[in-house]
Amino acid sequence: MSNEHTPLLAHGVCGLSADNAVCGIGESEGTGEASTPNAVPRKLNTFFGVMVPTVLSMFSIVLFLRTVSSSAFRVLPQGYWYTVLYSSIVLLLVLMVCLVGAHIFARTSFLILLVVTISLLSIYISPLALTTPLKFLITHQGPGNQTLTYNASYTGFNGTTLKDNLGSGYTVDYSTGKVMSFATVFAVMFTSCTGIMAGANMSGELKNPSAAIPKGTIIAVLYTFIVYVLLFILASSTCERTLLAQDYGFFQRINIWPPFVTIGIYCSALSAAMCSLIGASRILHALALDQLFGFPLAPAAITSSSGNPWVAVLYTWGLAQCVVFAGQLNAIAGLVTVFYLLAYAAVDLACLALEWASAPNFRPTFQVFSWHTCLLGILSCLVMMFVINPVYSSASIVLLLLLLLFLHYRSPTSSWGYISQALIFHQVRKYLLMLDVRKDHVKFWRPQVLLMVANPRSSCQLINFVNQLKKGGLFVLGHVKLGDLDTLPSDPVQQQYNFWLSLVDKLGVKAFVDLTLSSSVRQGTQHLLRITGLGGMKPNTLVLGFYDSCTPEDYFLQDHAFCESKGSGGDDFGVDLPSLQAHFPPVRHVESPRWLTSEEYVGIISDAIKMSKNVCLGRYFFQLQGEGMGTKTDGAARIIDVWPLNLLQPSSTSAASVDVCSLFLLQMACVLNMASRWRHARMRIFLCVEAESSDQGWVVKEETYRELLRKLRIRASIKIVPWDSVVQLYGQKQIRDPELEGLTKPAQALSEDFLSAVNRMLMEHSAEAAVRFLYLPRPPAHSSQSQKYLSQLEAVTYGLGPTLLIHGLTPVTCTEL
């Protein structure tokens, strides 16, 4: 095998899109070595790479940032624009640090955590040192420039204080002037969980991301949860509700040394801002590398010589600067919380999809979950989103759907696989098992077509036509490559699938492709008729192009989709237009030898009938217009003509009964009439009668067909065609075939005059039809009659235009309720 020594781990194994690009570096994931000289090796462990950034991010949002809004900047001028100015300056400082690189934050994060821990310890120790109650006078600027004054108390540890603080007691938020509620408090408190992904964002720096991320994140969450619970108990046991509600910076008032809190504020806020800016920029950089959003994010793929994605950092800084104009944390807390809840719901959905897909390679290191917990997480996130703010929630979901639609239709094919494909496979397999062939019923019959294609260059119009004829059924393009696998080093068929699938994409047809290698076309067709499809989805109809001496036309030279050169990039699977054209050989010339003999062609028809498959032969479909992918027509100007009687055996047309093959013709014509490009076409049914007959049987035949059309609910007009002069040219005689070892059998001696008369009759009545459906007689039992059989078909259909010769074996109609 040519790829036996391909690295086993060709793609990321952690399931994170930013896994190998978090710090702008590219690595050989199978070996762990840097793929470029400037790449930074992975060196962070669980503690420094996951726990520290996660703890700092989760601490800062609620524990410290809310304090900044009321206490840190009191010594400076206050106001909306001053707040924006101060925040912009701090954000600019964070930007400068991030532009240098992520390694600065990684080296200082542990020191910052120590400082924050000391600040927290001072908060825990202060109630033990402050044993006497304290009184505070708190003032706020109220409406109408009036000053609001509140008397607040610090009581120390007190059971009554704890009891009074257990209730909700929602009041007006002095920073926004709005009444608080459960939803708004939840939105503010939930932002303390938004740092939970900080460790995952640093995955490109970790030695072992798959183990470090779940372990470090869970430890960090447990640690911060314990800290928050202790702080809640401490605050509610020592501070009256007025102090808690009217001063969000109350920790400074009750600290033994207030600068401890101020230092913690600045350290944790700056570290969280840097961690968020770095993490978001790395995700943005990964999106740019994958070209998921095209040109708008293309510059974000640029990195410095050290691998730092500085353009992505600028993108992220610009977005953060826009958020700064909100002025107050509570003003954006709801929107931020909704976005994060939606993101977490998406993570749960991805995990749920992987679990439901049951892919064998889904073996996560962290296995303490089930589809029940994933589903519970999704529902919880969605419910809380709408509890917090229904408008924000609806808008965020719409935005997410728009992004998904954009990615679905515009993004290039990824190399990491699609979960949708795994889910589709899982569901299709399940429903295929439920599709029991023993429960098939004629009422739900639909054509399931295997179209044998020798060369797509001359068959594209027929492919497009059959795509309209399938009526939601199975459509398979089959091709036989001549050869013997014993004499070949590898299977040549496997290398051709991408070209055929790209052809299907360009034609815009809903078809599968099935190729086989065989020593003969007939044997290969037998293989495909037997093995194509699965379960209840197997072909019941074989479609072949007509076997004649006409020189085929090259459709690739007529369709602009195959002529225009739209760059050398090709499609998402590496097949460009020149290689697609070069793969399929030029059309056959008149002098070129044929790979298929007339005996073999008729043998294929006979084989299909023996296998209980319906057979259709398509002729002159290269003349059919309006079947291309970009064509918009409803068929209002089109006519579908159906000749449901066996024109090569006039004796069979005299009977008033309708055989299975005739019903099959009517059904296929009706199916075509239901297709989008033929739904307004007029359908005509031609009945050949002997008008000069004394028994007037043709009147009974006409009434029989009218009643049949009424029962089958087929809208079509019936045309009576007298063909007495044609029948007179038809004769029967006994012939002896020397190849049948002296056995005598009845055979049709169809004269050229009779065949020409039938052809003239068809030309006279169906000249204006867009497509014609004719009765295909059963092929001869012996191969010696194959050429005569084809000659008769060729003579009858000569010059008609698009014609489909059909021999039906399957009952397809039912008049019972």
DSSP structure string for 119-147:
HHHHHHHHHHH--S-EEEEEEEE-GGGPE
Spatial neighbors of 408 by CB under 8 A, at least 6 apart, are none
Q: Give phi and psi for 806, each to the nearest 5.
A: -130, 130
Q: What's the distance, CA 481 to chain centroid? A: 32
Structure tokens at 584: 């399929």
User: Under a CB-based contact definition with an 8 Å cutoff, are residues 173 and 179 in contact?
Assistant: yes
What does the radius of gyration of the chain's CA atoms come to, in whole angstroms? 39
In this structure, the number of other CB atoms found within 10 A of the CB of residue 144 comes to 5
User: Under a CB-based contact definition with an 8 Å cutoff, are residues 52 and 253 in contact?
Assistant: no
Q: Give phi and psi for 51, each to the nearest 5.
A: -60, -50
Spatial neighbors of 197 by CB under 8 A, at least 6 apart, are 279, 343
Distance of alpha carbon 293 from alpha carbon 346, whole angstroms: 19
Structure tokens at 332: 């954006």
Helix segments in 366-389, DSSP class H: 371-388
β-bridge mates for residue 28, sequence order? 33
Task: Kindly write down the DSSP assignment for every residue of 288-326, as one continuous string.
Answer: HHTTSS-GGGGGGG---TTS--HHHHHHHHHHHHHHHTT
Would you state the pLDDT for residue 449? 96
Query: What pTM does this model have?
Result: 0.71
Distance of alpha carbon 619 from alpha carbon 797, whole angstroms: 8
Query: Integer distance in angstroms from the first to the last C-alpha of the chain?
Result: 58
Distance of alpha carbon 26 from alpha carbon 17, whole angstroms: 12
Distance of alpha carbon 108 from alpha carbon 95, whole angstroms: 16
Distance of alpha carbon 642 from alpha carbon 766, whole angstroms: 9
Distance of alpha carbon 284 from alpha carbon 298, whole angstroms: 10
β-bridge mates for residue 733, sequence order? 747
Structure tokens at 160: 């009554």
∠628-631-637 over CA atoms, to 5°?
110
Q: Give phi and psi for 140, each to the nearest 5.
A: -135, 155
In this structure, the number of other CB atoms found within 10 A of the CB of residue 24 comes to 27
In this structure, the number of other CB atoms found within 10 A of the CB of residue 655 comes to 13
User: Under a CB-based contact definition with an 8 Å cutoff, are residues 356 and 371 in contact?
Assistant: yes
Spatial neighbors of 719 by CB under 8 A, at least 6 apart, are 684, 685, 686, 687, 765
Would you state the pLDDT for residue 22? 33
pLDDT digits (tens, 9 = 90+) for 476-498: 999 999 999 999 999 999 989 99
Q: Is 508 helix (H, G, I), strand (E, B) or coil?
A: coil
User: Under a CB-based contact definition with an 8 Å cutoff, are residues 301 and 356 in contact?
Assistant: no
Residue among 24, 11, 33 nearest 289 (CA): 24
Would you state the pLDDT for residue 653? 65
β-bridge mates for residue 617, sequence order? 544, 805
Spatial neighbors of 428 by CB under 8 A, at least 6 apart, are none
Structure tokens at 217: 């994140």
Spatial neighbors of 405 by CB under 8 A, at least 6 apart, are none
Q: Is 456 helix (H, G, I), strand (E, B) or coil?
A: helix
Would you state the pLDDT for residue 741? 42
Q: What is the largest CA-CA distance in the chain?
A: 127
Structure tokens at 113: 């955590």
Contacts of residues 404-409 at CB distance under 8 Å and 24 or more positions apart, as own/partner, are: 406/293, 407/292, 407/293
The single residue listed with the structure tokens 């159906």 is 642
Residue among 635, 752, 647, 650 nearest 697 (CA): 650
Q: Is 491 helix (H, G, I), strand (E, B) or coil?
A: coil
User: Under a CB-based contact definition with an 8 Å cutoff, are residues 111 and 118 in contact?
Assistant: no
388 vs 349, 383, 544, 669, 756, CA distance in Å? 21, 9, 62, 57, 81
Structure tokens at 95: 């930007």
Distance of alpha carbon 777 from alpha carbon 790, whole angstroms: 11
Distance of alpha carbon 803 from alpha carbon 808, whole angstroms: 16
∠100-106-110 over CA atoms, to 5°?
135
The single residue listed with the structure tokens 């400074």 is 252
Q: Give phi and psi for 130, each to the nearest 5.
A: -90, 90
The segments of the chain whose pLDDT lies below 50 read: 1-39, 64-71, 566-568, 732-747, 817
Q: Give phi and psi for 513, each to the nearest 5.
A: -125, 130
Residue among 793, 730, 800, 805 nearest 770 (CA): 800
In this structure, the number of other CB atoms found within 10 A of the CB of residue 236 comes to 17
Structure tokens at 420: 């949708």
Q: Is 449 helix (H, G, I), strand (E, B) or coil?
A: strand
Structure tokens at 586: 């030029």
41 vs 18, 36, 154, 272, CA distance in Å? 15, 10, 52, 24
Structure tokens at 575: 């097949």
Distance of alpha carbon 192 from alpha carbon 58, whole angstroms: 5
User: Under a CB-based contact definition with an 8 Å cutoff, are residues 333 and 191 in contact?
Assistant: yes
